[in-house]
Amino acid sequence: MKNYILFLFIPVFLACSNKEQRQESLIQKGYQSLGQGQERQALSYFESAIDINSENASAWNGLGVTHYQNGHPYEAVQAFNKAIQYKADYTRAYYNRSNAFYQTGEYYRALDDLEPVLEKYQDSAFAHMAHGLALVGLENYPEAKTSFEKALSLDSENAEIHTNLAAVDYYQNNNESAVKHLENALKHNPEEANAWNLLALIQSEQELYESALESVNKALNLQPGQPYFLNNRGYILTFMGKYEQAYTDLRKSIVSDEKNPYVYRNLGILALKQEDYKEAIRQFENAYKRKSDLASLNYYRGEAYRLSDDLDKACEAYQKSLELEEEKGIAAFEEFCK
């Protein structure tokens, strides 16, 4: 069973220019503020630098980095657009904009921006990893794996690359290879939270729920309150029969990220386990509206409708699961719909 994996983001390059002294000073102070986690102050410095010369590409790039780090990717894209407008060969701005496009879900644009980056920095593990991430967003897992493998050849001890390779293997149902990559990731960095989270998902598929809970707890100890980790722990707790704890985690997750279709699916599974079929159907339909081909969703939708004595809708859902080649959906369709 596949839960949403939170994939790792790439750090954004910073850049400076050699413009007039005051502007240069403001830009440097902006980057210093970013490094100290003072985004509001950084924003002020970069805006002041732009006031001095609105065609300074480096100042626009810094402003974009600030928006990006503040979690405002759309604003970041606009700033990087300006940087590229005033310096057409500004490779760092293309790289930064590709990361912003990744966050807005514009994966083709992210790939387009990475072309000049990879042309100039063919031996950059970060650039190849960014390329892989955009391909994962397009669900092009074979090519994503190729990009991650290239990145790994350039930086063999990078835990993030190992984790992303594990994620690609997981999505392609190759858990054995995924576990090997996770072992390498955790060997190189025992505090790689995403590796612990993914390991928990694999263990939950194997119905090793105690081990899965231990792994996801390690992820949450490293990143408390992370919504995807909370969602996954809620899923694990559901199958352990710890319904109140599961509900608490899932509600916390949905408050932090209401767009994640997996949390609606998992709330539906929780309601199904508690025999609240009306609520299960409501949550499954919420998930279906967001991603109709979500892993295992249609099988569980079918179960909820069947247990509500609506066999027609149940078979429609099982049929969808069958088309996605899900074993449980195929078996349910054969049993109840033929």
| Spatial distance between the Cα atoms of 301 and 324, rounded to a whole number of angstroms | 14
| Domain residue limits, the chain | 1-120
What integer pLDDT is reported at residue 20 of this predicted model?
A: 76
Q: The domain 1-120 is classified under which CATH number: 2.60.120.260, 1.20.1090.10, 1.25.40.10, 1.10.3720.10?
A: 1.25.40.10
Structure confidence by residue, pLDDT tens digits, 206-264: 999 999 999 999 999 999 999 999 999 999 999 999 999 999 999 999 999 898 999 99
**How much of the chain exceeds pLDDT 70, in percent?**
94
What integer pLDDT is reported at residue 12 of this predicted model?
A: 54
Q: What rounded mean pLDDT belongs to the chain?
A: 93
Of 48, 50, 99, residue with least CA distance to 77: 99
Structure confidence by residue, pLDDT tens digits, 41-85: 999 999 999 999 999 999 999 999 999 999 999 999 999 999 999
pLDDT, average across residues 306-319: 97
Structure confidence by residue, pLDDT tens digits, 83-123: 999 999 999 999 999 999 999 999 999 999 999 999 999 99
Distance of CA 307 to the CA centre of its chain: 34
pLDDT(1) > 50: no
Q: At residue 15, what is the residue type?
A: A
| Spatial distance between the Cα atoms of 6 and 3, rounded to a whole number of angstroms | 9
pLDDT(284) > 80: yes
